[in-house]
Chains A and B, each alone.
Chain A
Amino acid sequence: MRSLVAFLVGGLFGAGLLISGMTDTRKVQGWLDIFGDWDPTLAFVMGGAIIPMAIAWQMTKGRTALLGGAFPAPSDPQVDRRIVIGSVLFGAGLGLSGLCPGPAIASLSFGGLSGLVFATAMIGGMAMAPTANRYLDGSPQTA
């Protein structure tokens, strides 16, 4: 049951990414092109995702999940250097390719060789992260 729900959640997420244009690398690069030919439309996608998610967070308060498991704990307010360094690296890769992790998976079926090369390199980068994180904070990566 948990896996079925997870499949449906992933499917809904993927359909949303495709329909909203998040899998279109030109559109994502256009959204980042603040100083050039800026395409602001993806702001509505992000805003449109943040609003229902904010309501969902409110609804989790004082409740437990139907399928077991705790809701994620309140976020740690600590902004460390990993947040900044990691996000700068991620942003550079996002700008270069127009792909972030969700859309990279969602567009694999129609992204051709480019999509496959990107996703393989992304998984490679993820495999390198625990080593980088040990160096950055002196302790092994948790979740």
Chain B
Amino acid sequence: MGASGIVGGLVDGSGHHAWKERGALLLGLFFVPAIIALAQGGASTFATSNLAILIIAGLLVGLGTRIANGCTSGHGVCGISRLSLRGIVATVFYIGAGGLTVVLFKHIWGII
């Protein structure tokens, strides 16, 4: 239902029955922000340029959302809005783990 499921279903083939709709949605998700960013002369994103951090973080996000079956949009928005216990538990754990990661890597170790 969320972004990770739509992308992940194409990656592992579990969503192949609706590949056209999934592909069209992802094209919209890519092109519309691209047009807005172009129109307003750029957009701010401040991702680290540390390749090791980017690769590890990307692997964790991809693997984690597909193990948990959802990300911010799936569990966080679609799940919580219908009071799904799974969505609420997932959101508590990913925000908690994210908070702990920021404390460790930013404030204690100063890596990010």
Q: 3 smallest A-B Cβ distances: which pairs?
A: A125-B62, A121-B58, A86-B68
- Contact call B102/A82, Cβ cutoff below 8 A: no
Known: A2-B20, A86-B64. A102 touches B33 (CB 8 A): no
- Contact call B36/A18, Cβ cutoff below 8 A: yes
- Contact call A96/B112, Cβ cutoff below 8 A: yes
Question: Given A75-B82, A82-B69, A87-B93, list of 10 further CB < 8 A pairs?
Answer: A6-B20, A29-B112, A32-B101, A53-B82, A75-B79, A75-B86, A99-B57, A106-B30, A114-B49, A121-B58
Known: A32-B95, A121-B55, A129-B12. A24 touches B46 (CB 8 A): yes
Using CB atoms, name the residue of chain A closest to B8. Answer: A126
Choose among A46, A107, A126 the residue that contacts B4 (Cβ–Cβ < 8 A): A126
Instruction: Report the contact-size class of chain B (Cβ under 8 Å from the partner).
Output: 35 or more
How many residue-residue contacts, CB under 8 A, span A and B? 370
B32-65 interface code vs A (CB 8 A; 1 in, 0 out): 1110111000111111110101111111111111
- Contact call A46/B33, Cβ cutoff below 8 A: no
Known: A57-B82, A76-B86. A91 touches B28 (CB 8 A): no
- Contact call A141/B66, Cβ cutoff below 8 A: yes
Chain B residues near A126 (CB-CB < 8 A): 4, 7-8, 11-12, 62-63, 65-66
- Contact call A101/B7, Cβ cutoff below 8 A: yes
Choose among B22, B24, B30, B61 the residue that contacts A90 (Cβ–Cβ < 8 A): B61
